[in-house]
Amino acid sequence: MVLYGRDAELAALDGLLGGARAGTSGAVVLRGEAGIGKTALLSHLARSAADMTVLRATGVEPESDLAFASLLQLLRPVAHHADSLPAPQAEALRVVLGTGAHGPHDRFLTGLAVLSLLAEVGDGGPVLCLLDDAHWIDEPSAQALLFAARRLTAEGVAMVFAARDDGFAAPGLVELRPARLRREEAGRLLGELAVTPVRRERIIRESGGNPLALTEFAAADGPEPGPGAPLTATDRVLASFRSRVSALPDRARLVLLIAAAESQADVAHLMKAAALLGAGPEDLARAEAERLVEVTGGQVAFRHPLIRAAAYGSAPLARRVAVHRALADTADTPDGGALHRAAAAIGPDEDAAAGLEALAERARARGGHASAANVYHQAARMSPDPAARTARLTAAARSAGQAGLAARSGELAEEAAAGSEDPATLAELAYIRSFSLFEKDAVGDAVRLLVDHAADSPTRGADMVRTAAFHAWHSGDLDALRDCAARPELQGGRSPGDRAVQGLARVAGGDFTGGLPLLAGLLDEVDEADGAGADGVGSGHHARTQAVTGGLLLGDDDRLRRVVEAGIRRCRKEGVLGPLPFLLSVLGRLQVFAGEHRDALVTVAEATALARDTGLNKRVVQLDHVAARIAAVEGDETRVRSLIRTGPTIDGSHGIAALILLDLGLGRYEDVLRRIDEVERGGAWHSIASILACADAAEAAVRLGEPDRADQAARRFTAWAEASGGPWARATALRIEAMRSGDLAGYERAIETYRDAQGTPSARRPFEQARTELLHGEALRRARRTTQARAQLRAAAATFERLGATPWADRAHAELRATGASPAASASAPSSPAAALTHQELQVARLAAAGTSSREIAAQLFLSRRTVEYHLYKAYPKLGVTSRKELAGLDLS
């Protein structure tokens, strides 16, 4: 079959197939109006892929609310490969396929399972996945497929989605947009169809270059559409199809309507419903003879989705109702029966609503939360009882939130709240709405909503107040935080979480001594639960997130890192992606403090990819600020400014702190003090980033000769350092004091304390140590203790060079020259074997060197096994090795 005017599209798609045959993967979206030729291109691909495993699915409107309907259609032929997947993925996929026990799981685990399954199939040869009418794919299937598509690398899998302009958002995937045919191309097509020149010009004009319109108008027996016809080519084709459907005998139209109303295309099933209404196979044969449907292998398929729309839309309401009732009576699944009973209902109908509610429950149990939300909403609209309507809307809002559809969840919760006066129900809805508001950055509204309704929830009240308190902390609303801490729900400190809120409020008031120990309790609980191997509340992801938030304020790098890494291990083991970007952002921050800049960038790269793949865009800001701090240490102003977002929030304060460190390194001391004033006015001075920036501000003020401003910053940092008890924090406080006083004896005490702190692994912050050595060297030079000064300055310069801290290394070298010494040429640090690897290659190589199998690495990093092996294949020649055994002998630190 010749496809006219599609040379560029065919070349791109054939290249995609060639890549899959060569072992690489890719995904493309074909997007355009109905009839533009998307399905024809998919058919071309299927014909070209005779040597490949071809998996196909087509989205249909009646199935768009059936959770995982499209995924089941696509994967059914290869479902047996699920047994080869890691246990959490295998179980998630079995639930989708209807062969596993229902239970809650991370909403992205199914996407990871799809990726792994396709990679397993790819072991036997290249794979082509074709998904037509993707705008009708149910949301859970779409989420899983897009997650897999974005992470395809080296599995030998090609995925092609065909969708209209107004559906199936797929950011990050390549799009091809077939254009309308030019006049000469349309003329060649019509010539092939033996259309006379007289009719040809009229058809070209009326079709507007739409290929389907060209072929349908050419095949029409009657007059072509005239001046009164609909304006768009799609509407004109739809009108043509309606005319052809109307020309059928009555019973043939009836069978066509039954096929259009039923998502299952099984002939035997359709004929059961047809028999109830007095039609039979001969009537289906008539529709097939008119080339409106095709019947192959016991399946009925419409030649084009617009024919389905024409068959259904042109039928009168009474006949559609009768068809849906017949389909409900003959349905072979509860889900199909529920949908048809609902479609047959005219007006509110409790039986139909109850059936939909049961369908939504089944979808939710399988992890299809987006579909469950839609079906609950349908059930609510059909509910005659207001209380039942509110309950179903509440369930819809909850399911939308679990699907990650924050805006949709908030809308449903607002709709439910408008129809209820029950305080407990309104409290539950307030809790649901708060997460939507938080994601929209309306954090103040979220806090007020939670606090206003907490007293009305006997089971969730304390949790609502705790959530409001942490929201207030992150948004910089310290008044709201203190109000939360004073709420009766948290009085008595019944849990470490309650006491942590009290601790946050005290820190917000400047009481570090009273606040930090209260925050330590929650971190202790999670740490102890991890040590005991517990799976209870103390080690849960929500508790861990709050514990880590408090732990950052404690400055205990060692204990916080232990808790964060335990959480990351748990997420990887369970296949849970949701909490990972946050935990990885904190790990990255701790790695920066420890001078592990390359490791931090590896961590950030993985977390950023996960956050973008899963739509957690707020986490991307946190991760950018980790990278911004590294750029600030290096003095890379362009990169710092490209990464930061500042504002009166915890996240914004990290951006300002990076700018402050950059300005300090570049000697822009006035800018440092101006920015610290911004933090003070913005209300985020209580964050750990702002507290640490006080040390930078104090140094800038001393260098400017402004003792009063240095005193203010130093007092805040010192109060925190004494309360935290961390050796590195106390040493930094002494460093500040030595600068302020000019007392060399006091400065020596600071250095001695810092050296003591270096003996504790949790206190290792080499950049801070080098800054102390630099300042010590400066003071020693001024005191004419040249030999001692050189030792300190050389040590500082060596650390700064290792960290890539160019402005700071330049300052150390300048001080060395002032002592009369020529700075030694930067000793090329022994080149690490890891230096040539990409972030992903390094991560994979380290795990492989530790003896982790490719399958285990894939499960931990949320990749396919084939992608892991691809990265190893790329890493081996860079490292000069040929096997895992040799890899194990390398130092990849």
Q: Which residue has the tokens 């822009």?
A: 668
Q: What is the pLDDT of residue 172?
A: 87
Dist CA 398 CA 418 (whole Å) = 16
131 has which bridge partners?
57, 161
Which whole-number Å values give the CA distances from 180 to 5, 32, 33, 207, 231, in the listed order? 8, 10, 10, 10, 16
129 has which bridge partners?
55, 159
> Among candidates 613, 618, 607, which has minimal Cα distance to 647?
618
Res. 684 pLDDT band, cuts 50 70 90: low
Tell me the CATH number for domain 7-176: 3.40.50.300
Dist CA 666 CA 412 (whole Å) = 51
Of the two residues 256 and 764, the one the predictor is more confident about is 256
Average pLDDT, integer, range 676-705: 85
* Phi, psi dihedral angles at 70 (to 5 degrees): -70, -40
Res. 537 pLDDT band, cuts 50 70 90: very low
Q: Is the predicted pLDDT of residue 527 greater than 80, yes or no?
A: yes
pLDDT in tens, 274-298: 999 999 999 999 999 999 999 988 8
CB of 428 closer than 8 Å to CB of 464: no
Lowest mean pLDDT among 292-296, 323-327, 608-612, 833-837: 833-837
CATH architecture of 726-829: Alpha Horseshoe (1.25)
> Among candidates 543, 549, 552, which has minimal Cα distance to 570?
543
Q: What is the pLDDT of residue 750?
A: 60
Q: What is the pLDDT of residue 756?
A: 62
Q: What is the pLDDT of residue 761?
A: 47
**Percentage of the chain modeled with pLDDT above 90:** 53
Dist CA 830 CA 760 (whole Å) = 26
User: Which element (helix H / strand E) includes 464?
Assistant: helix 461-475
Task: Name the amino acid, one letter, at 284.
Answer: L
Q: Is the predicted pLDDT of residue 646 greater than 70, yes or no?
A: no
Residues 6+ apart with CB under 8 A from 68: 96, 110, 138, 140, 141, 144, 366, 368, 371
User: Which element (helix H / strand E) includes 246?
Assistant: helix 233-246
Res. 538 pLDDT band, cuts 50 70 90: very low
Q: Which residue has the tokens 């310290």?
A: 478
User: Which element (helix H / strand E) includes 29?
Assistant: strand 26-31
Q: What is the pLDDT of residue 223?
A: 42
Q: What is the pLDDT of residue 387?
A: 94
Of the two residues 206 and 244, the one the predictor is more confident about is 244
pLDDT in tens, 180-202: 888 888 888 888 887 877 788 88
Res. 250 pLDDT band, cuts 50 70 90: very high
Neighbours of 205 (CB within 10 A): 12
Tell me the CATH number for domain 836-887: 1.10.10.10
Which range of 294-298, 470-474, 682-686, 793-797 scores highest in mean pLDDT? It is: 793-797
CB of 437 closer than 8 Å to CB of 470: no
Task: Name the amino acid, one letter, at 492.
Answer: G
Q: Is the predicted pLDDT of residue 638 greater than 70, yes or no?
A: yes
pLDDT in tens, 89-133: 998 898 888 776 666 667 788 999 999 999 999 999 999 999 999
> Among candidates 794, 722, 728, 720, which has minimal Cα distance to 595?
728
Identify the three-state secondary structure at position 663: helix
Q: What is the pLDDT of residue 536?
A: 40
As a whole number, the mean pLDDT across the chain is 88
> Among candidates 247, 225, 240, 251, which has minimal Cα distance to 303?
240
Q: Is the predicted pLDDT of residue 433 greater than 60, yes or no?
A: yes
Average pLDDT, integer, range 558-563: 92
CA 690 to chain centre: 28
Q: Is the predicted pLDDT of residue 673 greater than 70, yes or no?
A: yes
Q: What is the pLDDT of residue 593?
A: 94
Give the orientation angle of helix 786-803 with respect to helix 806-818, to 10 degrees.
160
Vertex 297, ends 55 and 52: CA angle to 5°? 25
Identify the three-state secondary structure at position 635: coil
**Percentage of the chain modeled with pLDDT above 70:** 92
What torsion do the CA atoms of 799, 800, 804, 807 make, to the nearest 10 degrees?
180
pTM for the whole structure: 0.85
Q: Is the predicted pLDDT of residue 227 greater than 70, yes or no?
A: no
Vertex 531, ends 530 and 533: CA angle to 5°? 65
Structural domain spans, the chain? 7-176, 183-245, 248-344, 726-829, 836-887
Dist CA 498 CA 40 (whole Å) = 61
Identify the three-state secondary structure at position 131: strand
The tokens for 513 are: 């001594």
What torsion do the CA atoms of 671, 672, 674, 678 make, to the nearest 10 degrees?
130
Q: Is the predicted pLDDT of residue 263 greater than 90, yes or no?
A: no
Q: Is the predicted pLDDT of residue 749 greater than 80, yes or no?
A: no
DSSP-assigned states of every residue in 354-419: HHHHHHHHHHHHTT-HHHHHHHHHHHHHT-SSHHHHHHHHHHHHHHHHHTT-HHHHHHHHHHHHHT
CB of 839 closer than 8 Å to CB of 601: yes
CB of 262 closer than 8 Å to CB of 299: no
Task: Name the amino acid, one letter, at 175.
Answer: E
pLDDT in tens, 314-371: 999 999 999 999 999 999 889 989 999 999 998 999 999 999 999 999 988 888 888 9
Which range of 425-429, 459-463, 821-825 scores highest in mean pLDDT? It is: 425-429
Lowest mean pLDDT among 253-257, 294-298, 664-668, 797-801: 294-298
User: What are all long-range contacts of 237-242, with beta carbons under 8 Å and residues at least 24 apart?
Assistant: 237/34, 237/35, 237/210, 237/212, 237/213, 237/306, 238/306, 238/309, 238/310, 240/216, 241/216, 241/292, 241/304, 241/306, 241/307, 241/309, 241/310, 242/310, 242/313, 242/314
The tokens for 96 are: 């989708």
What does the DSSP 8-state code read for residue 596? -
Q: What is the pLDDT of residue 825?
A: 64
Average pLDDT, integer, range 463-475: 89
Q: Is the predicted pLDDT of residue 398 greater than 70, yes or no?
A: yes
Q: What is the pLDDT of residue 649?
A: 61
Strands 157-163 and 26-31: parallel
Identical fold, 7-176 and 836-887: no
> Among candidates 438, 433, 443, which has minimal Cα distance to 683?
443
Q: Is the predicted pLDDT of residue 637 greater than 70, yes or no?
A: yes
Of the two residues 811 and 622, the one the predictor is more confident about is 811
Dist CA 866 CA 852 (whole Å) = 15
Q: What is the pLDDT of residue 648?
A: 56
Average pLDDT, integer, range 205-213: 84
